[in-house]
Structure 1
Amino acid sequence: MPFALIHGEALVACAAWALGEAGVRIVDASVTWEAIVAAGEDLVLHDSLCPMTPPAFIAACLEQARSTGRPVVGVRPVTDTVKVVADHRVGATLDRDDLVAVASPLVIPAEVLATMAARPSVDLVLAVADLAAAGQPAETLTAPPEGRRVSSPEDVQVLDALTTAAG
């Protein structure tokens, strides 16, 4: 999926451009965890499946993390009906107002990075859960609609339409 096209560009390229426009220095997986921590900088993890996340939103998440010293994650409201399943039976409906869907980015302040023994998961949901388990729960910031995550070619088409300027 990261190489699917939106507006004629790969999703991963759009995500990288948004980071650059937000003033974030991009590093790749070849940089060691030790080097990332030693740099003493905040870490911004951006999901390429949220390719149209506006640079201003990424910058806002970074600013909130810097001002609070706590991790910050972009989220979207849950609009689907969510049911509890137990013993192979469908049960109660969860209140979707109490739920969020992790989007992007996840910003981890340098002070928090210094306490982490290992690189966070590239799966932002797992990274957020690991931070919470380590006593560093992420604050949430609601991402704009164009910051939604795509998971299928149909989702890319919807996001393309959503982010196409009216002509």
Structure 2
Amino acid sequence: MSEHPYDERELPPALGLVLDEGRGALPYALIHGEALVACAAWALGDAGVTPVDVGVPWSSLQTVDEAVVLHDALCPMTPAAFIADCVERSLAHDAVVVAVRPVTDTVKRVEGGLVGETVDREGLLAPSSPVVLPPSVVRALDDFPGHDLAAIVARLREHHVIETVEAPPEARRVTSAEEIALLEALTGEAPRPF
């Protein structure tokens, strides 16, 4: 039996970084009585991914020859099993795997400073968490790719294979205290006793 609670599989070794910079104080807000950033780190550990401090030099991560999971602290309730699935897909296909959620907001075109027609949301996706980099991509990057998942994906798309995977509703990204309350209601219980 695996030591990881997500299921019976043994995940290949992978390293994980919880991204919290540029997000203000929100990563330290509470959900189910725990900080969002702590819940995100626990999800990595529960998925069998070894959490690593963002301050570790990128060159050190490159020498380990493992996948690197970039996990947004604002997606604190991403299920461990989903993270593990993304890691396995990334390794199996040697591709950057990007979790996405459907866009539900109304999106308008802006032309010449004027708000125009509504964009059809059918083909729009919003990056969620995680973004998994296979070892080949980790080795190819000159430095830490940054904290903005959308910018990371846009940059990587130029030179690497990208696969998108629809994230479950629990993996949604929160941007306010109101959205944290909604996510807390959706997930219904504390992520982990301490």
Aligned residue for 2:71? 46
Runs (4+) of structure 1 moved beyond 3 Å?
none
Task: Give the Cα–Cα distance (whole angstroms) in 1 for the partners of residues 161 and 124 of structure 2.
Answer: 15
When residues 120 and 21 of structure 1 are mapped into structure 2, their CA distance, relative to the original with a 3 A threshold, is same
Q: Partners in 2 of 1:101 and 1:52 — Cα distance?
A: 17
Per the TM alignment, residue 137 of structure 1 is displaced from its structure 2 partner at its CA by 4.2
CA separation in 2, counterparts of 1:67 and 1:123?
Answer: 25
The answer to whether the 8 A contact 1:82-1:93 is kept is: yes
C-alpha distance in 1 between matches for 2:111 and 2:175: 26
Deviation at 1:30, TM superposition (A): 2.2
Q: How many residues align?
A: 164
Q: 2:105 aligns with which of 80, 84, 101?
A: 80
- Give, in whole Å, the separation in 2 of the partners of 1:78 and 1:102: 10
Matched, 1:90 2:115: yes
Q: Partner residue of 2:162? A: 138
How far apart, in 1, do the equivalents of 2:141 and 2:164 lie?
20
Query: CA shift at 1:97, angstroms?
Result: 1.0
CA distance in structure 1 between the partners assigned to 2:138 and 2:55 by the alignment: 18
Structure 1: how far apart are the matches of 2:105 and 2:137? 33
Matched residue, 1:34: 59
Equivalent residue for 1:156, pick from 158, 167, 180: 180
RMSD between aligned alpha carbons?
Answer: 0.9
User: How many angstroms does 1:94 deviate by?
Assistant: 1.5
Q: Which amino acid aligns with 1:84?
A: R
What are the equivalent positions in structure 2 for 1:3-42 lying under 5 Å apart? Answer: 3-42=28-67
* One-letter amino acid of the counterpart of residue 14, structure 1: C
Between the aligned partners of 1:142 and 1:158, the Cα distance in structure 2 is: 20
Deviation at 1:92, TM superposition (A): 2.4
Gaps of 5+ in 1: none
State the alpha-carbon separation in 1 of the partners of residues 31 and 162 from structure 2. Answer: 30
- Helix, strand or coil at the partner of 2:132: strand
SS in 2 for 1:140: strand
Between the aligned partners of 2:37 and 2:169, the Cα distance in structure 1 is 18
**Contact 1:71–1:106 under 8 Å retained in 2:** yes
Matched-pair contact (CA < 8 Å) for 1:77–1:99: yes
Query: TM-score, with normalisation over the residues of structure 2?
Result: 0.82
1:61 and 1:107 in contact (8 A); partners too: yes
Aligned to 1:123: 148
Work out the CA distance in 2 between the residues paired with 1:78 and 1:11: 22
2:170 partner amino acid: E
TM-score normalized by structure 1?
Answer: 0.95
